[in-house]
A and B are shown apart, each in its own frame.
Chain A
Amino acid sequence: INHIVHNGGLYKRPFNEAFEETPMLVAVLTYVGYGVLTLFGYLRDFMRQWKIEKCQNATEREEQKDFVPLYQDFENFYNRNLYMRIRDSWNRPICSVPGAKVDMMERVSHDYNWTFTYTGRVIKDIINMGSYNYLGFAQNAGACQEAAAKVLSQYGAGVCSTRQEMGNLDKHEELEKLVARFLGVESAMAYGMGFATNSMNIPALVGKGCLILSDELNHASLVLGARLSGATIRIFKHNNMQSLEKLLKDAIVHGQPRTRRPWKKILILVEGIYSMEGSIVRLPEVIALKKKYKSYLYLDEAHSIGALGPSGRGVVEYFGLSPEDVDVMMGTFTKSFGAAGGYIGGKKELIDYLRTYSHSAAYATSMSPPVVEQIITSVKCIMGEDGTTVGRARVQQLAENTRYFRRRLKEMGFIIYGNEDSPVVPLMLYMPAKIGAFGREMLKRNIGVVVVGFPATPIIESRARFCLSAAHTKEMLDTALKEINEVGDLLQLKYSRRRLVPLLDRPFDETTYEETED
Chain B
Amino acid sequence: QEKEELIEEWQPEPLVPPVPKDHPALNYNIVSGPPTHIITVNGKECINFASFNFLGLLNNEKVKSAAQASLKKYGVGTCGPRGFYGTFDVHLELEERLAKFMRTEEAIIYSYGFATIASAIPAYSKRGDIVFVDEAACFAIQKGLQASRSNIKLFKHNDMADLERLLKEQETEDQKNPRKARVTRRFIVVEGLYMNTGDICPLPELIKLKYKYKVRIFLEESLSFGVLGEHGRGITEHFGINIDDIDLISANMENSLASIGGFCCGRSFIIDHQRLSGQGYCFSASLPPLLAAAAIEALNIMEDNPDIFQTLRAKCKRIHKALQGISGLKVVGESFSPALHLQLEESCGSRENDVKLLKRVVDYCMNSGIALTQARYLEKEEKCLPPPSIRVVITVEQTEQELDKAASLLKEAAQSVLN
Contacts and interface: CB of A to CB of B under 8 A. Distances in A.
A295 to B, nearest CB: 7
Contacts of A360: 114
Contacts of A93: 87-89, 91-92
A61 B267 contact: yes
Interface residues of B, number: 117
A363 B112 CA distance: 12
B270 interface: yes
Nearest to A148: B76
Given A99-B75, A133-B79, 6 more contacts: A91-B275, A144-B76, A157-B64, A166-B51, A195-B283, A228-B143
A106 interface: no
A374 B76 contact: yes
Interface in A86-112: 90-99, 102, 105
Given A153-B64, A157-B259, A162-B376, A450 B73 contact: no
B25 A195 contact: no
12 contacts: A61-B269, A68-B185, A70-B270, A91-B87, A92-B85, A98-B75, A148-B76, A265-B13, A337-B77, A338-B76, A364-B112, A368-B291
B315 interface: no
Contacts of A334: 77-79, 285
Interface of A: 58-61, 63-64, 66-72, 79, 83, 90-99, 102, 105, 128, 130-133, 137-141, 144-145, 148-149, 152-170, 173, 192-196, 199-200, 203, 205, 219-221, 224, 227-228, 249, 252-253, 262-266, 292-296, 327-328, 332-335, 337-340, 349-350, 352-357, 359-365, 367-371, 374, 448, 450, 518
Interface string B25-68: 11011111111100101000000101111000011000110011
B87 A70 contact: no
A421 B288 CA distance: 29
Given A152-B64, A166-B51, A264-B12, A68 B71 contact: no
B302 to A, nearest CB: 14
Given A153-B64, A192-B112, A374-B76, A140 B260 contact: no
B101 interface: no
Contacts of A97: 73-75
A166 B31 contact: yes
Contacts of B371: 166
B294 interface: yes
B183 A68 contact: yes
Contacts of A152: 64, 67-68, 71, 290
A356 B257 CA distance: 28
Contacts of B39: 166
Contacts of B186: 68
Interface string B256-281: 01111000000111101101100110
B244 interface: yes
Interface string B277-303: 001101111011011001000000000
Given A138-B77, A161-B35, A252-B7, A294 B58 contact: no
B285 A340 contact: yes
A64 B186 CA distance: 13
B55 to A, nearest CB: 10
A339 to B, nearest CB: 5
Interface in B377-411: 377-378, 381, 391
A355 B28 contact: yes
A160 B30 contact: no
B258 A340 contact: no
Contacts of B36: 156
Contact of A161 (B26, B50, B283): B50
B356 to A, nearest CB: 16
A58 B15 contact: no
A352 B22 CA distance: 11
Contacts of B279: 195, 220-221, 224
A153 B64 CA distance: 6
Interface in B5-19: 6-7, 10-19
Given A68-B185, A140-B72, A356-B25, A362 B82 contact: no
A280 B29 CA distance: 40
Contact of A362 (B13, B15, B378): B378
B147 interface: yes
Nearest to B245: A63
Contact of B31 (A139, A169, A327): A169
Contact of B3 (A90, A154, A253, A361): A253
Interface string B165-199: 00000000000000001111110000000000000
A293 B48 CA distance: 51
Contacts of A192: 112, 260
